[in-house]
């Protein structure tokens, strides 16, 4: 994918979001792997992300909650389990909804985040693979694509150089 944007592919049951940043891969990588940095951009506008744990290594977990700033809904808890970590190049993980005690409540989504450096910065490509077409359609209906796109725009405010 060369352009920024979203691709919903019902043949492969994937959702792909890409965005280019005017920042080196190291800076973008840090924004994805440092708990303080992640809390500044992860999630949609009007929501606060709280990182409970971030252990970026194969088998490690990132546990976080997101809650609307206006208190209009209960926090959403997510457990991410890293499968592959290649610094400045790739994160592969499964993210799953969880209860407030961090007990996983769903099958999860296999997610691949690629960091591709070029002469002008770094392209981040997020690909979420769903179990089937229904799971993909449900995620899209719940706003996952728009949420990722908004979060990646917020990431730009953290990493882009001007």
- List domains and CATH numbers for the chain: 5-159 (3.30.530.20)
Give yes or no for a contact between 78 and 64, defined as CB atoms under 8 angstroms apart. Answer: yes
At 130, is the pLDDT very low, low, confident or very high (cuts 50, 70, 90)? very high
Q: Is the pTM of this model over 0.85?
A: yes
pLDDT of residue 161: 59
Over 70: is that where the pLDDT of 144 sits? yes
At 73, is the pLDDT very low, low, confident or very high (cuts 50, 70, 90)? very high
CA atoms of 68 and 87, how far apart (whole Å): 31
Closest C-alpha among 52, 55, 60 to residue 78: 52
Tokens of residue 118, six digits: 């070029």
At 113, is the pLDDT very low, low, confident or very high (cuts 50, 70, 90)? very high
Over 70: is that where the pLDDT of 141 sits? yes
Q: How far apart are the first and last CA of the chain?
A: 25
Over 80: is that where the pLDDT of 103 sits? yes
């Amino acid at each position: 994918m060369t352009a920024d944007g979203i691709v919903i592919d019902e043949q492969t049951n994937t959702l792909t979001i890409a965005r280019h940043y005017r920042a080196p891969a190291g800076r973008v990588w840090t924004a994805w792997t440092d708990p303080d940095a992640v809390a500044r951009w992860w999630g949609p506008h009007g929501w606060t992300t709280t990182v409970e744990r971030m252990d970026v290594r194969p088998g490690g977990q990132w546990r976080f909650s997101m809650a609307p700033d206006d208190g209009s809904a209960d926090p959403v808890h997510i457990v991410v389990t890293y499968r592959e970590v290649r610094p400045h190049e790739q994160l592969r993980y499964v993210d799953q909804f969880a209860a407030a005690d961090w007990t996983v409540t769903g099958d999860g989504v296999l997610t691949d985040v690629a960091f591709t450096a070029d002469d002008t910065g770094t392209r981040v490509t997020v690909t979420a693979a769903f179990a089937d077409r229904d799971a993909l359609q449900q995620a899209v209906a719940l706003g996952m694509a728009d949420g990722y796109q908004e979060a990646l725009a917020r990431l730009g405010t953290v990493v882009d150089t001007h």
